[in-house]
């Protein structure tokens, strides 16, 4: 044999051994894995039990599903895993990627290539891609959209909702009704406040993501850091402070775009009463809005975009199916996830939840219904960020807004303070805990 033939045989042997190692590490994904072959896996999540049980039955998934309360899901999961009786699979929102990453088993890219994740699912799904493997397979997307009151727009002689955020400057004088003492009786948009603005954190997240602020980033050394105050405009201010100036301006009585204050009801309640022209909420809220006020004449559109930004985006609540480290049935769990994320299964899930599908091939066939069409567009545009603590950052964002609207600090200082606080929340996820907070 020639040296070339020996080398070629060596290469084949190397790849065979590498495949055996990956197969052994993951417990034989895609095939039998000894005593655990065909085991019934347990799945925990916050989707309705009937929805998941129908999928499990219709697509031959050997699994048992347990519905959890959204408010206690993380706590229940952590406690169960600590006691050694947690599930094999969890339906994990992207907001828990950082806090629960150590409990998730990364699917090796030799088993599930990154290219397959990218070509099959929406771009936000790539948040689950790490250097160690794929943390989860996207399952449900609930994008932030814009609901608009058709009657209020028609009464003001306005045909269409805004497509850019700065369009609001012209809309407020036409759609906001207030007394000479600035008491608001009808509002254009619920921007500027926090405690009475439904999804305030998610709206701010969408605004920041649209201008290219990732809020949190992972560096080459594997350390997470806050990027909230890093990007600068031509005047030396942080881009995030520009976003906060825009957002809070609608709660400033001295500005012509004044349209919101803390004395008003929650934005969702105000929209349902017919006194708010624009409401930013999630696609999952559509049926609730329709049921609570069947007479409300409203429609759905994608949220406005920042002017002169080439890539459209919105914030999306993404949930993925993840395999837990403690699972003794990882191969069976992977096979269950493969069935549940197939095109047919996701089609059935979308029909049941009335949410857009998370798969690109299904989103290519846009429905004729205007609301569903907007949901499909928004799903493709959805983005998220690596939130170190959902409750912690919600408090930080609220303080940031309140410090500006109360006049305690300007936007630059408020953003800098918020960035430092987010950096502290990220400290447990740094390899070098002595690194600076930001």
Residue of 294, 297, 346, 344 whose CA lies nearest to 319: 346
Looking at residue 3, its pLDDT comes to: 53
The pLDDT, as a whole number, for residue 290 is 98
E strand or H helix at 66: strand 63-67
Please tell me the CATH code under which domain 3-141+318-383 is placed: 3.40.190.10
Domains 3-141+318-383 and 143-315+388-429 share a fold: yes
Cβ contact 311:384 at 8 Å: no
- Quote the CA–CA distance of 415 and 398 in Å, as a whole number: 11
Of 362, 377, 361, residue with least CA distance to 314: 377
pLDDT of residue 230: 83
Rounded distance between C-alpha atoms, residue 404 and residue 249, angstroms: 10
pLDDT at 150 over 60: yes
Judged against a pLDDT cut of 80, whether residue 145 lies above it is answered with yes
Tokens 């929406």 correspond to what residue?
122
Distance CA 352, CA 288 (A): 15
Q: Domain-by-domain residue ranges, the chain?
A: 3-141+318-383, 143-315+388-429
For domain 143-315+388-429, the CATH class is: alpha beta
Give the residue ranges of DSSP H helices in 262-329.
Answer: 267-272, 286-292
pLDDT tens-digit readout, 207-248: 999 999 999 998 767 789 999 988 777 667 889 999 999 999
Average pLDDT over residues 4-23: 44
């Amino acid at each position: 044999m020639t040296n070339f033939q020996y080398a070629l045989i060596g290469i084949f042997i190397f790849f065979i051994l590498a495949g055996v190692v990956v197969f052994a590490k993951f417990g034989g994904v895609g095939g039998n894995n000894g005593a655990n072959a065909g085991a019934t896996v347990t799945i925990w999540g916050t989707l309705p039990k009937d929805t998941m049980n129908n999928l499990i039955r219709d697509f031959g998934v050997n699994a048992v599903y347990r519905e959890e309360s959204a408010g206690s899901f993380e706590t229940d999961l952590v406690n169960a895993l600590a006691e050694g009786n947690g599930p094999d699979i969890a339906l994990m929102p992207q907001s828990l990627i950082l806090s629960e990453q150590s409990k998730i088993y990364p699917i090796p890219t030799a088993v599930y290539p990154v290219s397959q994740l990218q070509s099959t699912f929406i771009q936000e799904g790539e948040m689950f891609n790490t250097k160690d493997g794929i943390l989860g397979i996207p399952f449900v997307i609930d994008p932030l959209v814009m609901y608009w009151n058709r009657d209020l727009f028609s009464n003001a002689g306005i045909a269409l909702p805004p497509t850019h955020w700065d369009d609001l400057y012209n809309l407020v004088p036409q759609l906001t009704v207030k007394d000479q003492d600035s008491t608001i009786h009808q509002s254009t948009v619920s921007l500027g406040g926090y405690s009475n603005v439904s999804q305030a954190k998610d709206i701010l997240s969408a605004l920041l993501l649209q201008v290219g602020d990732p809020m949190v980033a992972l560096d080459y050394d594997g350390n997470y850091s806050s990027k909230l105050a890093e990007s600068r405009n031509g005047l030396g201010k942080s881009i995030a402070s520009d976003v906060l100036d825009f957002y809070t301006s609608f709660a400033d009585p001295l500005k012509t775009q004044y349209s919101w204050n803390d004395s008003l009801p929650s934005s969702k309640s105000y929209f349902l009463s017919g006194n708010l022209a624009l409401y930013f909420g999630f696609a999952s809220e559509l049926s609730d809005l329709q049921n609570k006020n069947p007479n409300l004449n409203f429609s759905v559109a994608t949220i406005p975009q920042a002017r002169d930004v080439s890539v459209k985006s919105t914030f999306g609540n993404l949930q993925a199916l993840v395999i837990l480290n403690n699972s003794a049935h990882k191969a069976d769990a992977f096979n269950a996830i493969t069935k549940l994320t197939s095109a047919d299964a996701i089609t059935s899930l979308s029909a049941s939840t009335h949410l857009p599908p998370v798969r690109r091939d299904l989103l290519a066939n846009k429905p004729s219904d205007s609301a569903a069409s907007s949901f499909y567009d928004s799903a493709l545009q959805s983005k998220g960020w690596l939130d170190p603590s959902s409750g912690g950052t919600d408090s930080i964002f609220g303080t940031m807004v309140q410090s500006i609207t109360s006049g305690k600090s300007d936007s630059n200082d408020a953003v800098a303070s918020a960035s430092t606080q987010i950096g502290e929340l990220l400290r447990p996820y740094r390899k070098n805990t002595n690194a600076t907070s930001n």
